[in-house]
Each structure stands twice: as C-alpha cells, then as structure tokens.
Structure 1
Amino acid sequence: MDRLEAMSILLAAVEAGSFSAASRKLGVPLPTISRKVGELEAHLKTRLLIRSTRKLTLTDAGADYVAACKRILEQVGDAETQASGEYSAPRGELILTAPIVFGRLHVVPTVTAFLAAFPDIDVRMVLSDRNANLVDDHIDMAVRIGALPDSSMVATRVGSVRRVVCGSPAYFAAHGTPKTLDDLADLTSVTFAGLGTSWTFPSQSRGKAAKSVQPRCRLSINMAEAAIDAAIEGIGLTQVLSYQVARAVAGGKLRIVLEDFEPAPMPVHLIHAGQGRLPLKMRRFLEFAVPRLRQSLMDAAP
C-alpha cells in the first residue's frame, strides 16, 4: 500500500464530504477511493470514518490522524518543491485568480509582461467574480476588491476603486443630469446584479443612516460589461465600479455623476496564503506585479 497516496485520498474524502465527491475531485474511481481508505484503516487497525448515506464523520482517532496527514503531506510537498529548485530559482506554475473585468484590463497585461521576463515560470489564470478559497482550490495568489475579512491571508494593497453612477451624454441631454439623490427617482436605470438592484449612498450628515435609492429599473443584467453597454445605448443610469467604465468615460461614451455622494473607495489587494516560506516564483511575481498594478490603476482612474 502506498501510504502517502492513501493519506491524500483520505484527506480529499474528508474535505469533500463524501467518497463520491472525492472521486469526482481526484478523477479516481469510487471503488478505488473506498478500497484505499479501507486498506489504511486495516493497516492502522482502527476505524477512521463513520460512513452514512449523506456524509462522512471522523472518529476521534480519525480526526487526530487526518490532522497528522495534513502536516505530513505539506512537509512532503515542501520538500519536493525545494528539491525541484522552486525555492532557489524562479520556476514552476503560478496559479492566479482575479475578478473577470479587472483581470482582463489590469492583471493580464501584467502577467504577459511577467512571462516575458521569467521564461521558466508558467501562469494559470482563473478569471471569476467568485471569491475562491486559496487553500482549498490550490491557488497561489488572488486579487480581491473590497474590505478583507480577518484571516491568515497576507495582503498587499495595490490601489482602490470607486463605486460610481454613470450614464450616456445623450441620456442626460434627454432626461436631465441628476444633482442630488432625490433626482434619481425621476430617472431609469440598468442594474448590475453583482452590486444589487438598490443603490446605497452614505449619509451626508453625521449620525444619520445611509440612504437607499431605487431608480426605476428598465433592465437588470448579471454582467457588468453588458450593463455598461446598455447604459451607453441610453437605457438609463448604471452603478458599477470605476475601473469597469474607465475606457467608456475616457472615450466620452459615459459621464460619471453624483460624485459627491459616492461611498468611500474600495481597496484592491493582492493576497496569498502566507504559510511558510514563499517560493521564489511568488516572491518575484509580487515584486514585479505590485508596482505595475498600482500604476495601472492610477492611469485608469476616471
């Protein structure tokens, strides 16, 4: 029996919650998953898991053994990584994730320049507006927009973005330009589901609650780029993040309004798990990407 393989399968089953989920995750037949865990229990002469139709539950001995498996597999991974030279030379695969539009506009240009500078490093990028779990999804680094929850993640701030209200010059010419939040009641909107259908603005007076405004929604879309396209066509105002409309504003297709009522800018961070010594590929990417992302955000600010 390959004990490291069996440990990995056991750990995958526990993290996935079932043998079938572990089978799908690992691409290993379900009977093999069950057999490997059974062999491990026979070797240890103790029961590690209580199996039911819905979930797996660790026994006390199983909980202790799984915790030890995690430590052992991490140490083996570190040893293999160091032996392959990843800590002494910048090489290997770097896995990154970023929001879709932000990644396309700011991260991809940085990554392409990084690849040209470091030919022994390959990058796999996952562009998604879902915040993936870096440890569970085996991701090296991620771009996060907004306040970060307290966690063990190490964060480097690269800038900030605003939540803005904008519309086309033609729309304002036909319907008037809003000067106050009350003016929004007479206008129409294109809502982006990612930011919600109700627009919330901070109070202009200390001690008063934030104000929620609901312009008449003519169109609700689940993608920011589509909402922006509709706003350019004059369907109504839209509220999105400043980097998403920077080019449209610079090109005169959209105008930002109600800037005095905007919420505080949201920070943008590059984060990583920060567990142990960073491989050289990650250290080099941080050194390379942070100043470039900062400059990219400054240059694109509308």
Structure 2
Amino acid sequence: MDRLLTLEMFVAVASEGGFAAAARKLGSSPPAVTRGIAALEARLGTALFHRSTRAVALTDAGAAFLGEARRILADLAGAERALRGAAAAPSGQLHLTAPVMFGRLHVLPVVDAMMTKHRELGVRMMLIDRNVRIVEEGIDVAVRIGALADSGLKAVRIGRVRQMLVASPAYLARRGAPHGIADLKGHDLIGTMGPRWTSEWQFARERWRLPAPPRLTVNTVDGALAAAEAGLGIANLLSYQLAEAIDAGRLIALLEQEQPPALPVHLLFEPSRAALPAVRLFVEAMQARMRMAGLG
C-alpha cells in the first residue's frame, strides 16, 4: 500500500480516535484503513495503536511517531502548494492557538480581516491559557508570551508586554496604596491559575515571595480582572489585559517604578510551515497589529 496513504490513515485514526471515523474523514472504508495501519505497523516493526472493542489509543511508539508523520504530510502539502503557484492565495485550514484574552483582543481581529479578504481560507482557533504541544496537536502557529524553551520550532518576535500590579480606586481608598514591595504583605492579593502563576512575583530588582496564598484565586484572567475592578484586592496581570480598564479609570497601576523587564511575545511554528501562504500572511498581519496597538 502507498506509504503516504498509510501515513494519512495513521494521522486520521490518531486525530479522530477510531478507524471508522478516520475512514469517513478520508472517504475510505474501515477495512481499508485497518489494512493500511497494519501495513504501516508491519513496515515499522512496531504497534502504533492499542486496540479494544471500545477504544483505540496510541502506543508510546505511536505517540512518538505522530509528530513526525504530521510533519511529513505538512511538508508535502507545502511543497504542493508552492508548485501550484498558490503562494499568493491563502487557502485551506489555518490552525492557531493563543492565550484566551490575547486571542480575543489581538488574534481574532487579524483572523477576521484575513477571512474577509480570502474566501478560500478557514481558521481553527484554540484559545487556552496553557502551552499546547504544537506538533502533536496539529497547530500551525502558536502565540507565546514570555521566555521560550529551546526547541526546533521557528520563533518570530512580534511584540512585548509588561507585568503590572493594579487595584481599583475603591480598594485603594479603603486600604491605601502600597509604597514599596514590602507593603504588599499587608494587602489582599488576587491570584490566578495557569502557566504564569507563581508564588514569587518578579520585580525590577528582586523576586518577592508571597507570604501566604492569595486571599482570592480565580481560574481565568477575566475573573481576576473583574475581581480587581470590584475592589477585592491587588492583581498581578499583563499590560495588554489591563489597558482598557486603566484607560477607563477602573483600575490604577501600582509600584510602576518596580516593574520588571518586558516579556516578549512570539509566534511559534514549525520551520516547514514558514512558506505556507496563510502562515506567512498571519505572521505579517500580527506584526502590524502589535505595532498598531503600541505593543511592537
């Protein structure tokens, strides 16, 4: 059986969670997909799936091979697009991921403009406040805020954001404003759950360990923002999350002289994706968006 076809079958079974679903996606039959996976496993000399009457799950070898299979298929698709002269016409599906609020404020407007101009382009957005596995989850471009881990992915820096402490005018009227980092010990603090949360807050010249868990902890940035605006305490959030509330006077920035260095904002993607029309257009549009927003 054709090697590329068996790779497509493997990726489809892994993505769809079963042979029948993969067959429907590929316009094939379950027996044909079963034969294709068996041929691929025989060629590789290892089982790629655990099979039962109720479920299909990747083996350790299958999970390790999935990223490589997706990369091979993506490279082939990119080469075919380039050969067809499709470089100037984004089309197909663009898979993106970004933090929830950043995606809503900055990625969605870019996606809206791209889809309006290019009718053959579709977009799948995963807005989530955690770092997803780009290759394994089939992501074309990921927005990452903060320092990057070493990887084989291509990174394009598009902007920067700052950590800020804020509180509402009502809270400050009731409790007073901290004049230094040590003063935070006597205040109500608002914590969040997610990849940015830590029990140590970074400032310009020191890391300050919270003396106790925050009095209030919420699981979304929107929730922490709403709690701060409601006067429940001091929140530690990022500048793009706070810009509207600060401009409107609902929140006031604190200890600005102690702000740490800005955090970089990058777009991450596999090097093989760089030449894809939709990826190239998205990168350029996000660079322009960040400059326009004063975050470039």
Give the structure-1-normalised TM-score. Answer: 0.77
Distance apart, 1:223 and its partner CA: 0.7
Distance 2:71 2:122 in 1: 27
* 2:100 alignment counterpart: 100
Distance 2:109 2:82 in 1: 29
Name which of structure 1's ranges 229-238 and 188-197 shifts more when overlaid on structure 2: 188-197
* 2:159 alignment counterpart: 159
Distance apart, 1:55 and its partner CA: 7.1
Q: Does 1:130 align with 2:130?
A: yes
Distance 1:178 1:67 in 2: 49
* 1:189 alignment counterpart: 189
Distance apart, 1:239 and its partner CA: 1.0
* 1:254 alignment counterpart: 251
* 1:288 alignment counterpart: 285
Amino acid at match of 2:36: K
* 1:176 alignment counterpart: 176
* 2:225 alignment counterpart: 228
Distance 1:68 1:200 in 2: 38
Distance apart, 1:12 and its partner CA: 6.8
Distance 1:111 1:196 in 2: 29
Structure 1 contact 197–214 (Cα < 8 Å) conserved: no
Structure 1 vs Structure 2 CA RMSD: 3.7
TM alignment of 1:79-98, pairs within 5 A? 79-82=79-82, 85-98=85-98
Matched residue SS, 2:286: helix
Structure 1 contact 97–142 (Cα < 8 Å) conserved: yes
Name which of structure 1's ranges 88-97 and 169-178 shifts more when overlaid on structure 2: 88-97
Q: Does 1:263 align with 2:263?
A: no
Distance apart, 1:98 and its partner CA: 1.1
Structure 2 contact 90–278 (Cα < 8 Å) conserved: yes
* 1:198 alignment counterpart: 199
Amino acid at match of 1:239: N
Distance 1:145 1:8 in 2: 33
Matched residue SS, 2:93: strand
Gaps of 5+ in 1: none
Deviations 1:268-296 (A, max 9, x none): 11222122661222222222331222222
Give the number of the structure whose alpha-carbon radius of gyration is greater: 1
Q: 1:220 to 1:24 in 2, by over 3 A?
A: farther
Matched residue SS, 2:214: strand
Q: Does 1:272 align with 2:273?
A: no
Q: 1:40 to 1:292 in 2, by over 3 A?
A: closer
* 2:54 alignment counterpart: none
Distance 2:270 2:89 in 1: 20
Matched residue SS, 1:217: coil
Structure 1 contact 86–92 (Cα < 8 Å) conserved: no
Distance 1:197 1:248 in 2: 24
Amino acid at match of 2:292: Q
Q: 1:212 to 1:277 in 2, by over 3 A?
A: closer
Amino acid at match of 2:117: A
Name which of structure 1's ranges 96-105 and 47-56 shifts more when overlaid on structure 2: 47-56
* 2:47 alignment counterpart: 49
Distance 1:273 1:133 in 2: 12
Q: 1:173 to 1:145 in 2, by over 3 A?
A: same
Q: 1:178 to 1:230 in 2, by over 3 A?
A: same
Structure 1 contact 107–293 (Cα < 8 Å) conserved: no
Equivalent residue pairs, number = 285
Name which of structure 1's ranges 4-13 and 142-151 shifts more when overlaid on structure 2: 4-13
Distance 1:130 1:143 in 2: 11
Distance 2:89 2:282 in 1: 13
Distance apart, 1:297 and its partner CA: 4.1
Give the structure-2-normalised TM-score. Answer: 0.78
Matched residue SS, 1:185: helix
Matched residue SS, 1:275: helix
Distance 1:24 1:172 in 2: 60
Matched residue SS, 1:244: helix
Distance 1:95 1:178 in 2: 44
Amino acid at match of 2:199: S
Q: 1:124 to 1:287 in 2, by over 3 A?
A: same
Structure 2 contact 158–287 (Cα < 8 Å) conserved: yes
Distance apart, 1:180 and its partner CA: 0.8
Amino acid at match of 1:217: P
Amino acid at match of 2:115: L
Amino acid at match of 2:149: P
Amino acid at match of 1:49: A
Gaps of 5+ in 2: 52-56
Structure 1 contact 188–216 (Cα < 8 Å) conserved: no
Distance 2:239 2:289 in 1: 18
Q: Does 1:211 align with 2:208?
A: yes
